[in-house]
Amino acid sequence: MNQKTLFSACIVAISLMACKQDFLEIKPLVGASEANFFLNAADAEASIIACYNPLQQEVTNLQGFGQLAPHFRWYFGDIVSDDSFKGGSGDGDEPELLLFENFQGNSTSKLILAEWQAAYRGIAYCNLSINRIPEIDMDPTDKARYIGEAAFLRALWYFNLVTMFGDVPLVLDNLAPSEYQQERSPASVIWAQIELDLEVARQGLPNRSGMSVSQIGRVTRGAATSLLAKAHAYQSEWQACYDMANEVMASGEYFLDPNYSNIFTESGENGPGSIWEIQYMNASGGNWGNQLEGTFTNVFTRARGQFGGYGFNIPEQNFVDEFEANDPRLTATVFQEGDAMGDRGVFSLDATGMPHPYYTKKYFINAGDEAPFGDPNPNGYSNDRMIRYADVILFKAEAAYHLGIEDEAKAAVRMVRDRARGGAEQQFPGVLPNTAVNFATGEALLEMIYHERRVELGLEGHRFFDIVRQGRAATLLGEDGFTSGTHEVFPIPEAEITLSGGLITQNNGY
């Protein structure tokens, strides 16, 4: 029938029009895709910068959960320790942190999930660079350096993981969907990988003195060596720790800033005693959604009320009492009532609206130095002093002590104390005399090393992990609820156990 034929013909014609496939092939017009990346040296450089980028994500957007969660180093390093209390507007402000402070934290906490995710996110970028840069045709020195930087950062993330969680999955490649579920590797395997990566980094990285000023903030050989010393200290491998710390000290790359109180000022950033810092800038217009330029530490640790902060990380009396009389480091570390808080006014309880007598000072910034507009709160410029020369010197002291070289241990402690009082000379009577150090031996000397570490590096996020590795946590934190055999590490995030299909197991006691 004529009509039918015509009708069918039309249908066929319409169907044919649809066969033009490329109408649906639209290339993303902005942004390369995975396929056309890692082609040249510029791509390699950009991929390395992307490895640094997660360092700044101290308030992490939890992947797949759509929530922001902070994971500052001082959350677990200081607040969980005997150095500070949580603070905030009250117990309901970051309640999970209060639970961890009281050793009641559990595996559902978003804070530990944030730690876990932040670390593996950083590792994913490092893995991508480490595995893809070798195939790029480029200058071999630059190539070794890039790979060294990624290896250092990967080691740093695994260091965070192994000290936080103990055994964790070891991921050295970017995963295909079939590989998403992995078991934990023993901590010893993680430590071995950290040492291996840091060796790679030491081979490929330049010395600090070999870098241009504009590059400051990038990882150096000295940073890798220092982190390796630290890694050995955490495993009580004292000879190796001693060797590495000595190498840093012998390098001539670093010296202690003569003025302790200068270290945490803006001009003290990346100073002579700075081995490596996470860099933050005073970004304008930053806010909670755009958090990758400034640090939140400034606002989080500043007093509330007129000081415009959130009042976290409140120094404990016990910590303040640790300072010897007239130790000038106390006033550089802690604000006490009646102190001027920079240009923000004088610290009184009424002005803060809170009952706390102390606030942390190291990451305090003046109102006049804040970014001029945008959300005034979240952006601070203070670099996070990750590895300081004093830290390495005190590792050497600890290592030398354990190796029985007490003289070297004492000399190291003296270096730190000399600087604290502003020079080797005994300028004022009673200000940090070295006499006690000179005569101490055995346990007493070790206690002095521990004391020096606590006051020198106070509120910089080291304390909890230090006392755990030193085996002193149960003694010092037992009253707060610390239980040996459990609280040396934190619980594995419940979500990760679920998502691993049960392959990942929970830590003992959680």
Partner 1 sequence: MKKLLLAFGLIATCLVTAFSQGRSVTGVVTSADENSGIPGVTVVEKGTQNATFTDIDGRYTLSVASDNAVLTFSFIGYVNQDKVVGSEASIDVTLIPDIESLDEAIVMGYGNQKRSKISGAVGTISTKEITSLPVLRTEQALQGRAAGVQVTQNSGQPGSTQSIRIRGTGSLNNAEPLFVVDGIPSGGIDYLNPSDIESISILKDAASAAIYGARGGNGVVLITTKSGSKNQKAQITYESYYGIQEPWKYMALLNAEEYAILMNESRSAGGLTPLAALSNPTALGEGFDWQDEIFERAPMMNHSFSFTNGTAKSSTAIGGSYFTQDGIIGGEKGRFERYTFRVNTRQEAGEKFRTGQNVNFTYLDRSALAENNEFATPVGRALNMDPTTAARRPDGSFAYSEFIDSDIANPANQIALTNDQWVTNRFVGSTFGEYDILSNLKFRSTMSVDLSLGSQTIFNPTYDLGIGPNDPNRPAYEWRETNSLVRGENKWSTWQWENTLDYTKEFQNGDDIQVTAGYSALRSHYTNFYGSRDSLVSNEVEYAYLNNSLNSAEQAPSANGGVSESSFVAQFMRINYSLGNAWSFSGTVRRDGSSRFGANNRYGVFPSLSAAYNLTELPWVAEKDWIDFLKLRGSWGQNGNADGIGNFDYTSLVYNGLNYTFGPDQQQVNGAGPVNTSNPDLKWETVVQTNFGLDADLYKGKLNIVLDYFVKSTNDMLAVVPLPGIVGFSPSATNVASAKNSGVELALNHRNQVGDWNYSIGGNIAFIKNEVTGLGEGGQPISTGNVFGAGDFVSYTEIGMPIAYFYGFETDGIFQTDAEADAYRVYVDQEFVRIQPDAQAGDVRFVDQNGDGVVDGDDKVQIGNPHPDFTYGLNMEVKHKGFDLSLFLQGSHGNDLYNGVFRYDLNTTNLPVSALERWTGEGTSDIHPRISHSDPNQNNRVSDRFIEDGSYMRVKNLQLGYTLPASVLEQMKISKFRVYVAASNLFTFTNYSGLDPEIGSRGTLEIGIDRGFYPSARSFMAGVNITF
What single-letter amino acid sits at 18?
A: A
Output 62 or 411, the one with its CB closest to partner 1.
62
Residue 70: CB minimum distance to partner 1, A: 12
Distance CA 491, CA 104 (A): 10
Cβ partners under 8 Å of residue 147, min gap 6: 129, 130, 133, 134, 200, 204
Output 170 or 256, the one with its CB closest to partner 1.
170
Strand, helix or coil for residue 218: strand
Cα dihedral 424/462/439/232 (nearest 10): -100
Residue 478: CB minimum distance to partner 1, A: 17
Residue 292: CB minimum distance to partner 1, A: 7
Residue 29: CB minimum distance to partner 1, A: 5
Output 51 or 156, the one with its CB closest to partner 1.
51
Output 179 or 447, the one with its CB closest to partner 1.
179
CB atoms within 10 A of CB 311: 25
Output 230 or 304, the one with its CB closest to partner 1.
304
Instruction: Name beta bridge partners: 359.
Output: 335
What single-letter amino acid sits at 505?
A: T
Output 51 or 400, the one with its CB closest to partner 1.
51
- Measured CA distances, 324 to 338, 355, 472 (Å): 20, 25, 21
Is 482:103 a contact under the CB 8 Å cutoff? yes
Cβ partners under 8 Å of residue 400, min gap 6: 242, 406, 408, 409, 412
Residue 72: CB minimum distance to partner 1, A: 17
Residue 476: CB minimum distance to partner 1, A: 21
Residue 226: CB minimum distance to partner 1, A: 19
CB atoms within 10 A of CB 114: 26
Output 434 or 500, the one with its CB closest to partner 1.
500
Q: What are phi and psi of 484, to 5 degrees?
A: -60, 145
Q: Which residue stretches of 251-302 are H helix?
A: 297-301
Output 286 or 315, the one with its CB closest to partner 1.
286
Strand, helix or coil for residue 166: coil
Distance CA 354, CA 428 (A): 36
Residue 328: CB minimum distance to partner 1, A: 26
Residue 14: CB minimum distance to partner 1, A: 4
Distance CA 55, CA 156 (A): 10
- The burial of 247, by beta-carbon neighbours within 10 Å (0-12 exposed, 13-18 middle, 19 or more buried), is given as middle
Residue 396: CB minimum distance to partner 1, A: 29
Q: Return the closest-CA partner of residue 379 out of 399, 395, 400, 365.
A: 365
Distance CA 112, CA 108 (A): 8
Is 296:378 a contact under the CB 8 Å cutoff? yes
Output 181 or 261, the one with its CB closest to partner 1.
181
Output 19 or 325, the one with its CB closest to partner 1.
19
